[in-house]
Structure 1
Amino acid sequence: MMKTPTEKGHVASLYYRNTHLQVVTIVVLLVAGISAIKNLPRLEDPRITQRNATILTFLPGASASRVEALINEKIEVALEEISEIKDIESTARSGVSSIQVSLEDDITRHTNEAVFSKIRSRLQNVQSELPEGATIPFLDDERGAVSYSLLIGLQWQGDGDGQLNLLQRIALDVKDHMRRVPNTELVRIFGDVHEEIIVTPDQAELAELGLAVEDIAHIVKQADSKVSAGQIRGDHHDLPIEVAGALDSLERVGAIPVKANTSGSTLRLGDIADIRHGYRNPPDQIGLKDQKRTIYVAVRAEEKVRLDTWNDHATRVLDQLRKEYSGRIHMEPIFVQSTYTEARLTDLSNNLVAGACIVILVVFLTMGWKSSLIVGSALPLSAAGALFSLSFFDQGIHQMSIFGMIIALGLLIDSAIVMTDEVRKRIRSGASRLDAMESSVRHLFVPLLASTFTTVLGFMPIFLLPGNAGDFVSPIAISVVMALCISFFLAVTVIPALAAKFTNPHDDKRALPWWRIGLPKPKFVDDFHAFSVAAIKKPYLFAALSLVPTVLGFALMPTMSMEFFPAGDRNMFEIQLWTSSENAIDRTEKIIAEIDDEIRELDGVTKSYWLAGASVPAVYYNQVPSQDKNSAYAQAVVVTDSPRRAVQLIAEAQNLINDRFPEVKAVVKSFSQGPPAAAPVAYRIMGPDLHQLRILGEQVRAVMHESPDIVHTRASIEGGEGKLWLNANETEAALVGLDLRDIATQFQANLEGFTGGSILEDVEELPIRVRLPREQRQTISQALDLPLKLSSSAGWVPANALGSLTLRPESGTVTRFNGQRVNTIYGYIVPDAKAVSVSSRIMKQIRMHVSIPEGYMIDVAGDSEEQEEAVGNLAIFAPILFVMMAATLILAFRSAALASIVGLVGLSSVGLGMLSLKIAGYPLGFNPLIGSIGLAGVAINDTIVVLAAIISNEKAKFGHGAAIIEETYGCGRHVLSTTATTIGGLIPLLLLSGGSFWPPLAVVIAGGIGFSLILAMFFTPLCYQIYANWRYGTRSRGARVEVPA
């Protein structure tokens, strides 16, 4: 029959009797910890599960309205039936469809690929419904909230742009080499050029030959024999056939016959056209660094890898490439994430070690050197076991898991302190070592199990939190929970055995120096003891008074500024820039070059790099690319000499751009912590009519600009952009054999060109593009002079003979959210403003000053929406966890009333944490919220120990006031020790960490625990006295309240 914890022969006695078992347990835990340190992935931040994907489809020449109707709406309908999709947000621009898909929060890294496969299947099905000329929808599921591990910049070292084609080839070679580095997950090129063979025919020659651009493209395509010509299939062998003469060089392209005359001579393509290597112009993206055209190669390591080890390998490969291409190509690592990872982990590890030293020092001062060694042994053993356990949860060593260890520092030894103190007291009271150990374990097993379990339950909402916020903060709870479980195991096995072996039974009978038994209790303890004895005579009054700080903390919460997550502590910031929507990318490049000149002159800026036309490669974990083929957009990352300087420069850079470049809309901001958001403040206006949405958007923006906290605003649907319309006379066009589609096709060919055939150079396939020279198609008048080939004859007619061009505004962008048209208004705030508070204040003003018509609605987005979702997810598990915590306490004490006292203490501690936050002057963000949840689970531990001591004394149990106070203060040493160690473990974070991410959370926990000492040592005995008066009535009232002699 199995023995319960209350029977003799408890497992702890095995550890006392069997030294080998003790040693093996210690060695196994230490080896497991060392193995984890060497093998676990080392990252700067936890990897957020990929729940976002972008679907890109292109329809050249189509307006935003056509893209919305012909592409976006059809794809949205196809995806609506996938239940795992949470939100679908689409953007239609001229020729571009971009659809962002967000998956439900309960999708994990193990299930997201199955959902993406469903999406791909639906896209294949809807492809046949898309208009002619639309590209195949491309699902990009690699745009997660994750930073690249290495960003390499390639530049031509000579004057000008140099040979961009050569630079592109080298970038592709670098990409291939980086892809072969072990444990590389993704390699992408940004700012690249797309090589082409450019065939530029002479317009006069074409007119004389009666050929159009598309005719030349067709001729080139037909001359390319890189297609199968079948096989000869015999009885004994099969032989494939291919027609010789595939296009493989510029000379071969030039030799393509265009037309043969009656004399037998042949006119070849090289006779009427210029043929050369080139690249697609205008390009989709332009990279710029130090005023030079730059191509970026971005490399991402796998999640389950030590980033420092991977980076060493990647750096060796890069060094070899730099030697190979030294000379005219400059190749440098622009961003190395491993540098930031090592600095962050070193900083937090130093805080962890400093906290551990403070914890051991506190135990030494309160319990003496021998007890401090026994208790302190729980720290490395629990931490080692917790580190090893991270691998079972697919976690690595990063700032969140280490911070979890820091929070757990003081908690890890709470049980060890209580157990060691109890064993020591019993041995000094005359019990044998074995009896003292076994009786201590029997007495404390259930209370310690209950306190550990309730603390674990306190952190479980964070542990189980789904979604992006959960991916980010749950590793904190994982570290705490696993460390607590291991520390409880040690507290009832190894620790009591060590305490029994090394406690001297005669120490209490002789005068010993403080360093042997701890510092004597200070005089204020006796004074407070006397006050408690007096207070317990009026328990209702003093219990109410002891709750005043709690009530004050809750009352002050509405006065605190609110945010979701604070800014990141990085020596860099970003610039997002929007120019006029009609701007060509070359114009955007000139603007960013001018701005970059000014930015690099700022004191403290070490480097900056830009990307025009798309989002810059992510160098921070929550940067999610959102811009594609947008010639009016550019983004930059600016690196400074320190994080402090980066914060100081944000406002300076913002003012500089506002003053000197008023024609652009620029946002300078720091990188933010937490899940990604497009803007800190945002509102969605939904409704059917684009014009009305635009008007409402302008009204909302006007209200937003009245706030001093708003720097810039931007609307997803703004004023129309210019578009040229050819007013062709359909009747006259028909007379010459042209229809409107023929006219559009020839305009497309003349202006953008047609591709036909390709050349293989090594492993690169270069398309052949045929189009007119740029100098013949740059202006409106040149466009009207373009010749249109008549289908009825070999003649030509200028475009202006069939109609005129008219410039009219048109919606440049149409956005939708979950099937409805939406105008999303984005607001960007000054550096010190708190987004959630700003959003709340502005929303009140919007409701007062903006009239929303019937059929339209406005919702909050941005950080406020993200916080609301995260808090809602936290609350999902609250009911069941509350019931489990209550059941644990009721079973432990066999009393619902005592469980209620513990629950009241836990709730009150949250108010004390809020009071601490207010005193420290920090805003109320998501970090303090999750800290307060953990605080509630931690603060009740001392109350559980105090109540266990009270009910173990017969007189105290039945309401004898003096006995209640004596039992309470009998727990004083380890209550003070556990409180001091919990606070001490967090002191380095409060004093040394800097930044604004960790201190608010540490303040809530440390301050709440410190104030909760009042709840454990004063409020709890008063509540028990009230309970005893009610429960035991006569016996309680007959008990005299006095201090025993």
Structure 2
Amino acid sequence: LPICGFIVVGSLPEQFFPPADRDQVNIELELNAHASLAETRQTIETIRQVVMEHPQVKGIEWFLGESAPQFYYNIVAKRENASNYAQALVQLNTAEGGEALIHELQRQLDQKVPHSRVLVRQLEQGPPFDAPIEVRLFGPDLHQLSESGDELRTILSQTTNVLHHKAELADPLPKLTLKIDEEQARLAGLDHAEISHQLNAALEGSLGGSILEETEELPVRIRVPQARRGSINEIASLQLISSIKTADGQPQFVPLTAIAEVKMSSEVAAISHFNGERMNEVQAYLKAGVLPAEALAEFQAKLKQAGFELPPGYRLEWGGEASKRDDAIGNLLANVGVLMVLMVATLVLSFASFRVAALVGTVGILSIGLGLGMLWLFGFPFGFMAIVGSMGLAGVAINDAIVVLAELRANPEARKGNRVVVRDVVLRSTRHVVATSLTTVAGFAPLVIAGGGFWPPLAITIAGGVGGATLLALYYIPSAYILVMCRQCPLRATATEPVEADRETTLFEKLKDRLPVLR
């Protein structure tokens, strides 16, 4: 059975960071990089109406232009002063049916606001990451990075359960450019610095004072109306003040079109760097309840099938859930070597025997296989909590083996390999071993009964392993003790004393007599 447990663990789905069992949902809204606050606010009102139509929703709070405050430990505020972004916290009446509601909201919002990227996301356990699947492309040329990112997005769009995807270099910003006629500008008495200063004052505004509202001082910015700032034709008709005065000393106005050609162009919204290297990060968001490891495996298979390759001088790096998972496992296993040395040293010094310490160690290893087998039997994925449970199980499961071995070593006849005496010693230890194991299993039962995705994998792993370790202590330890410790003992084959007929009963029959629950 322990070996079967190690075999089936390869077929378990991987979910290192399960969703949180909370009655809250996180919504993120992102429009095009050039979207205004007014457009974002209008989209928010549309989303609010759709969300509040569901009776399961108790309320919704929006944060416009910035991330929400940190209301959960791994929700990190990472956006501010972003006119195209908003985040909402949706409060539900109950946590039951949350995943079904998320699927329904996502479907409705994708239809209602197709011009934006809306993510209805579950709150999850584990370290924070922006997207479940992240691919980082590094290289010197932005154009090549953008093209490679577009190729990855095309393949992501063909991957099952991928909801939305984006690339940092794929969302350009509109840019107003001026081609200045140098001769006309000189005749008008304007240079580049003066033209730039007057346009900035007209479009962005200049501070003209402040007003006091209760205890807060608010700046007053003066600029041309929004209607004139939002049209390229209106901008081209702006009047600039020339440094040349009229005959009566009045300022002279010059239209912008008289000294420059106004046109629109685009530029990259942001150029990201990672460890000093230019980077284009491609992110993919998955449907609620989908395991990131499965989606990532499918995406990697499609990448290989499509023959995706980067030019020389460019490289690819994985981020997202996979990167955080590797970091978490690395941190978890960092001190395993030291703990193993301390455990082995404690056992060897306690029993003054390497062979006895090895017997106890095999029980700890075999119990992990039993715990993983129970994880497979109950249908839970293999993840971070299962690993924690396995590490804790190795230390808890050896207690029964230590009790039985201590009793065997304390009896002189058992140390000689007398099977009858060994059997009696084990029977005397059975009550203590079974009682401690049952209390341990019962202690983890509430975590399993409560359900959810966080605690049950840990509880199932420890409870199943401890229950199996009891059988190992009662059956495997006595047999292995005789084989390992009495190889040269003449009593290995037969007992030294005659065996009465009433003592020829099997160990299982003795257990049945002592434990009514086994009858």
TM (norm. structure 2) is: 0.91
Please report the RMSD computed on the Cα atoms of aligned residues, expressed in angstroms. 2.0
Aligned to 1:662: 114
Tell me how far apart the structure 2 counterparts of residues 807 and 786 of structure 1 sit (CA, whole Å). 16
CA distance in 1, matches of 2:231, 2:156: 40
Q: Give yes or no for the alignment of 1:876 onto 2:334.
A: yes
1:687 aligned to 2:139? yes
Q: Tell me the residue number matched to 1:1006.
A: 463
SS at match of 1:971: helix
For 2:218, what is the secondary structure of its paired residue?
A: strand
Q: How does 1:44-59 map to 2 (within 5 A)?
A: none
Contact persistence 1:605–1:638 (CA under 8 A): yes
Displacement of 1:771 in angstroms is 2.4
Q: Which moved more, 1:695-704 or 1:794-803?
A: 695-704
In 2: Cα distance, 1:833 partner to 1:798 partner: 59
Give the aligned partner of residue 803 of structure 1: 260
Whether the aligned pair in 1 keeps the contact of 2:367 and 2:397 (CA below 8 Å) is yes
Name 1:614's counterpart in structure 2.
66
Matched, 1:672 2:124: yes
Q: In the alignment, what sits opposite 1:637?
A: 89
Task: Give the Cα–Cα distance (whole angstroms) in 1 for the partners of residues 27 and 126 of structure 2.
Answer: 19
SS at match of 2:69: coil
Paired position in structure 2 for 1:443: none
- Which sections of structure 2, spanning at least 5 residues, go unmatched? 246-250, 504-519
User: Tell me, what secondary structure is at the counterpart of 1:668?
Assistant: strand
Give the whole-Å Cα distance in 2 for the aligned partners of 1:927 and 1:734.
Answer: 73
SS of match in other structure, 2:439:
helix
Counterpart of 1:702 (choices 154, 158, 163) is 154
1:994 maps to 451
- Contact persistence 2:348–2:357 (CA under 8 A): yes
Please tell me whether the aligned partners of residues 560 and 924 of structure 1 are also in contact (alpha carbons under 8 angstroms): yes
**Paired AA for residue 261 in structure 2:** S
Q: Which amino acid aligns with 1:592?
A: I
Q: Match for residue 840 of structure 1? A: 297
Percent identity, aligned pairs only? 35
Distance between the aligned counterparts of 1:732 and 1:797, measured in 2?
Answer: 10
1:969 aligns with 2:422: no
Q: Displacement, 1:835?
A: 1.6
SS in 2 for 1:795: strand
Supply the distance in 2 between the matched residues of 1:922 and 1:804 (Cα, whole angstroms): 66
Letter paired with 1:594: T
- Give SS of 2:134's match: strand
Structure 2 match to 1:928:
386
Aligned residue in 1 for 2:166: 714
Residue of structure 2 in register with 1:813 after alignment: 270
* Partner of residue 222, structure 2: 770
Partner of 2:313: 855
Secondary structure of 2:96's aligned partner? helix
CA contact under 8 A between 2:33 and 2:171: conserved in structure 1?
no
The equivalent residue for 2:56 is: 604
1:720 CA drift (Å): 2.4
Structure 2 CA distance for aligned equivalents of residues 813 and 1029 of structure 1 = 74
* Distance of 2:210 and 2:83 partners within structure 1: 27
CA displacement at 1:748 relative to structure 2: 0.6
Match of 1:581 in 2: 33
Return the offset for 1:764. Answer: 3.3
Please name the residue that 1:1027 is paired with. Answer: 484
What code does the residue aligned with 1:1018 have?
Y
CA shift digits 1:165-224 (9 cap, x unpaired) = xxxxxxxxxxxxxxxxxxxxxxxxxxxxxxxxxxxxxxxxxxxxxxxxxxxxxxxxxxxx
Letter matched to residue 836 of structure 1: A
- Partner-residue secondary structure (3-state), 1:673: coil
The alpha-carbon deviation at position 697 of structure 1 amounts to: 1.6
User: Equivalent residue for 1:887?
Assistant: 345
Number of the residue aligned with 2:513? none
- Asked if 2 retains the 8 angstrom alpha-carbon contact of 1:886 and 1:899, the reply is yes
CA distance 1:693–1:776, change in 2 (3 Å): closer
Counterparts of 1:995 and 1:887, CA distance in 2: 39
Pick from 65, 78, 100 the counterpart of residue 648 of structure 1.
100
Residues 160 and 295 in structure 2, CA contact (< 8 A), matched pair in contact too: no
Match of 1:899 in 2: 357
Contact 1:787–1:796 (CA under 8 A) maintained in structure 2: yes
Deviation at 1:756, TM superposition (A): 4.8
Q: Give the secondary structure class of the aligned counterpart of 1:566.
A: coil
Determine the structure 2 residue equivalent to 1:566: 18
One-letter amino acid of the structure 1 residue matched with residue 364 of structure 2:
G
Partner of 1:96: none
Question: What whole-Å deviation, never above 9, does each CA across 1:63-100 have from its counterpart, x for those lacking one?
Answer: xxxxxxxxxxxxxxxxxxxxxxxxxxxxxxxxxxxxxx
Q: Contact 2:134–2:281 at 8 Å: present in 1 too?
A: yes
Q: 2:322 aligns with which of 838, 844, 864?
A: 864
Q: How does 1:365-380 map to 2 (within 5 A)?
A: none
Counterparts of 1:905-924 in structure 2, within 5 Å, are 905-924=363-382
Q: How does 1:162-311 map to 2 (within 5 A)?
A: none
Contact 1:579–1:588 (CA<8 Å) still a contact in 2?
yes
Which shifted more, 574-583 or 715-724? 715-724
User: Secondary structure in 1 aligned to 2:72?
Assistant: coil
Q: For residues 962 and 791 of structure 1, do their structure 2 counterparts lie closer, same or farther at Cα, with a shift above 3 Å needed?
A: farther
Q: Is the 8 A contact 2:135 2:316 kept in 1?
A: yes
- Where 1:805 maps in the other structure, the secondary structure is strand
Letter in 2 for 1:877: N
The two structures have a TM-score, normalised by structure 1, of 0.46
- Quick one: distance in 1 between partners of 2:231 and 2:376? 63
TM-aligned CA deviation for residue 837 of structure 1: 3.1
Query: Does the aligned pair in 2 maintain the 1:961–1:1041 contact within 8 Å?
Result: no
Question: Contact (CA 8 Å) 1:600, 1:607: kept in 2 or not?
Answer: yes
Contact 1:725 1:808 in 2 (8 A): yes
Deviation at 1:763, TM superposition (A): 4.3
- Given that residues 686 and 857 in structure 1 are in contact (C-alpha distance below 8 angstroms), is that contact kept between their aligned partners in structure 2? yes
Structure-2 separation of matches of 1:1011 and 1:727: 80
- Tell me which residue corresponds to 2:508: none
Tell me how far 1:893 sits from its aligned partner.
0.4
| Secondary structure of the corresponding residue to residue 33 of structure 2 | coil
Q: Residues 254-653 of structure 1: matches in 2 within 5 Å?
A: 549-653=1-105
- The DSSP-based 3-state class of the residue aligned with 2:397 is helix
* 1:739 aligned partner, one-letter code: D
Deviation at 1:616, TM superposition (A): 1.9
The DSSP-based 3-state class of the residue aligned with 1:860 is: strand
| Counterpart check, 1:788 vs 2:240 | yes
Distance in 1 separating the partners of 2:140 and 2:241? 42
Cα separation, 2, equivalents of 1:809 and 1:1027: 78
Q: What amino acid sits opposite 1:553 in the alignment?
A: G
Q: CA deviation at 1:717?
A: 2.2
CA-CA distance at 1:969 after TM superposition: 2.0
In 2, Cα distance between the equivalents of 1:895 and 1:976? 26
1:866: how far off? 0.9
CA–CA distance in 1 between the matches of 2:171 and 2:399?
A: 61
CA distance in 2, matches of 1:712, 1:906: 45
Equivalent position to 2:399, from 916, 941, 944 = 941
Residue number in structure 1 paired with 2:185: 733
Structure 1 pair 773–1038 and aligned structure 2 pair: CA distance change class (3 A): closer
Report if aligned partners of 1:961, 1:1040 keep a CA contact under 8 Å in 2.
no
The secondary structure found in structure 2 opposite 1:623 is: coil
- Determine the C-alpha separation between the residues in 2 that align with 1:663 and 1:761: 37
Residues in 1 aligned to 2:459 and 2:186: alpha-carbon distance in whole angstroms: 78
